[in-house]
Chain A
Amino acid sequence: QVQLQESGPGLVKPSGTLSLTCAVSGGSISSSNWWSWVRQPPGKGLEWIGEIYHSGSTNYNPSLKSRVTISVDKSKNQFSLKLSSVTAADTAVYYCARVWSAAWGPFDPWGQGTLVTVSS
């Protein structure tokens, strides 16, 4: 059973770069799945950030595309998120998730999420 676990700094300074990693266990990141990042500001709804295939192909939310980089490390069975030039508006719980069933399929399972606060 695939499980995902996010990790990374919980506090990032404004104008800095947010960096998170999602470790995949119970399955291979090189399987026929895409892998995604979704975020949720405190008290607000979900926002899709982007996703990656093990080949390195990516899809990004157009509204974040200029600041987002998602990469994959097959040797460590993990994928990562970098979000540059962050502001307080980027404060959120960040989730990683597997895209199940097919490209553009649903998100399942999800990691437990990690809160990242942007503050000086």
Chain B
Amino acid sequence: QSALTQPASVSGSPGQSITISCTGTSSDVGGYNYVSWYQQHPGKAPKLMIYDVSKRPSGVSNRFSGSKSGNTASLTISGLQAEDEADYYCCSYAGSRVFGGGTKLTVL
């Protein structure tokens, strides 16, 4: 299966909100509510931020939220902070699993 499509980069100023999209097909993102999002700082392991499209694990800030419309899932980060600067990856069930190509978030 093909990787999910994410923008290569997004940026925002502290305090602003940004949204990262993750576009797939009806065979993955659009067909199941098994979309998760991961944050990865340089040299570190990924960290789960959102699962099942919009659920937030215990300990993850409520500034992070997820949603889905059709074949596109989205991660929104509100009240941007410097520590949010990282790479973000979406992942979907697709009969197996498929990741997005990743999005580099820069906090200006």
Hey, which bits of chain A sit against chain B, CB under 8 A? Answer: 38, 45-48, 59-62, 95, 100-101, 104-113
Contact = CB atoms under 8 A, between A and B. Distances in A.
A24 B20 CA distance: 33
Looking at A95, A104, A109, A112, the one whose CB has the most chain B CB atoms below 10 A away is A104
Interface of B: 1, 3, 34, 36, 38, 45-48, 51-52, 57, 89, 91, 93, 96-102
B45 A95 contact: yes
Given A45-B3, A108-B48, 15 more contacts: A45-B100, A46-B38, A46-B102, A48-B96, A95-B45, A105-B34, A105-B52, A106-B36, A106-B52, A107-B36, A107-B46, A107-B91, A109-B48, A110-B45, A110-B47
Q: Is the interface of B mostly helix, strand, loop or mixed?
A: strand
B42 to A, nearest CB: 11
A16 B34 CA distance: 35
A48 B1 contact: no
